[in-house]
Homo-oligomer: A and B are copies of this chain.
Amino acid sequence: MEQAKIRLFVEDDLAEGAVLNLAAQAHYLTNVMRLQAGALVALFNGRDGEWTARLVEAGKRRVTAECLGQAVGQGMPPDLWLLFAPIKKARTDFIVEKATEMGARRIQPVFTRFTNSERVRPDKLRAHCIEAAEQCGGVYVPELLAPTPLDKLLDTWPADRRLMFCDETADGMDAMGALTAAGGDKWAIIIGPEGGFATEEAERLRALSQSVPVSLGPRILRADTAAVAAMALWQVACGDWRV
């Protein structure tokens, strides 16, 4: 089958013969990309894999598409959560985009003692996740949770979920060894705020029995850099980059 060049996330169910209303994407499809009736698009909704669909109508206001067949099954990324303390807007957007590309299943903003920004717009962040999923060829959009205080989250931390904790005092630790040795298939990575964790927070994180402290080298990384670097190490050691 001819290959669709444009990938779109939709909320509707996808199944053979289903006709979807793409009104929300009409401007993009007809004005920006200049698609006409008959053009193929790839659609995914995070549940039904990726479907090849053909535009039936491609008007200024009304765009519809019919699902022809499933091109990719619904794979799931590994069971990895990314916890991060919201930072300046551009970098928060960036973290959310990167978490999607790097294959996080859930994104959880956390408020720490030194979190500067308390303004998180979940709807905007979700739009970044969707755009990143459309671009990266994934069929999954991470679940984006409402921000929660770190203390509250740790009070009920699941016993079977390991927590990779990027510990600035863990220099010289064997990151890959620690991740591989910890094992398990439920994980989270926590990235601290710009000013680092407060002493009590770092102590609580270290004391948690599910915690796996890992060093990210001798230089201080910004939170957004640390998020990508930590997810890369985790994916290679425990996730779907592993051979």
Question: A residues within 8 Å of B by Cβ?
Answer: 75, 94, 97-98, 101-103, 135-138, 172-177, 215-222, 225, 228-233, 235-236, 239-241, 243
- The residue from B138, B176, B217 contacting A219, defined by CB atoms under 8 A apart: B138
Asked if A221 and B136 make an inter-chain contact with CB atoms under 8 angstroms apart, the answer reads yes
Query: How many angstroms from the CA of A240 to the CA of B175 in the assembled complex?
Result: 12
Contact A241/B135 with A101-B222, A221-B101 known, Cβ cut-off 8 Å = no
Asked if A175 and B236 make an inter-chain contact with CB atoms under 8 angstroms apart, the answer reads yes
Q: A135-B222, A137-B219, A229-B232 are known; give 20 further A-B pairs, CB within 8 A.
A: A75-B218, A98-B225, A102-B217, A102-B221, A103-B218, A103-B219, A135-B220, A136-B219, A137-B220, A173-B243, A174-B243, A176-B176, A215-B241, A218-B240, A225-B228, A228-B228, A228-B229, A228-B232, A229-B231, A230-B232
Which chain B positions have C-beta within 8 A of A135?
Answer: 220, 222
Closest to A133 in B: B219
Asked if A102 and B222 make an inter-chain contact with CB atoms under 8 angstroms apart, the answer reads no
Sample 10 A-B pairs with CB under 8 A, ordered by A number. A94-B94, A98-B225, A101-B222, A102-B229, A103-B217, A135-B220, A217-B235, A217-B239, A228-B232, A229-B231
